[in-house]
């Protein structure tokens, strides 16, 4: 069941609502990593890509992103079983916003070679 923070309904500005949900470094970088390559990723792969994130922090962020229906978690029953994380359609839409943020940064903040 979709569970947003109770105080979210009190925020009138949609930008502020989005920041309240995913406006931290690890949530945004997790979404970016899952969008790159547009494929499912294992927890261990996300750990490697998001270094120096701790496993506890990554687990917490993935759980929050699942709760907000941005990330989907699928357990693959093999020997041994493993978990795959994928962006939902909602998450892919959000990843496009993050990509726009990267484009903006490249335009205005990254040094250009002459």
Residue 22's pLDDT band, with cuts at 50, 70 and 90, is confident
- Domains of the chain and any CATH numbers: 22-108 (1.10.10.10)
User: Residue 85 contacts by C-beta under 8 Å, 6 or more apart in sequence?
Assistant: 34, 40, 41, 42, 43, 46, 62, 71, 72, 73, 74
Question: For position 20, what pLDDT does the model report?
Answer: 86
- Given a contact cutoff of 8 angstroms between Cβ atoms, the answer to whether 73 and 61 are in contact is no
pLDDT in tens, 49-69: 999 999 999 999 999 999 999
In this model, does residue 5 exceed pLDDT 80? no
In this model, does residue 114 exceed pLDDT 60? no
User: Residue 75 contacts by C-beta under 8 Å, 6 or more apart in sequence?
Assistant: 81, 82, 83, 84
Question: For position 55, what pLDDT does the model report?
Answer: 96
Question: For position 1, what pLDDT does the model report?
Answer: 64
DSSP 1: -
């Amino acid at each position: 069941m979709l569970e947003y923070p109770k105080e979210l309904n009190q925020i009138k500005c949609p930008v502020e609502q989005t920041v309240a949900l995913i406006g931290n470094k690890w949530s945004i970088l997790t979404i970016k990593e899952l969008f790159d390559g547009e494929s499912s990723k294992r927890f261990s792969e996300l750990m490697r890509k998001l270094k120096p994130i701790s496993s506890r922090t990554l687990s917490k962020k993935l759980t929050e992103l699942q709760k907000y229906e941005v990330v989907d978690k699928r357990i693959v029953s093999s020997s041994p079983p493993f978990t795959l994380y994928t962006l939902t359609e909602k998450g892919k839409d959000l990843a496009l916003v993050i990509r726009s943020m990267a484009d903006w940064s490249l335009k205005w903040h990254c040094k250009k070679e002459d």
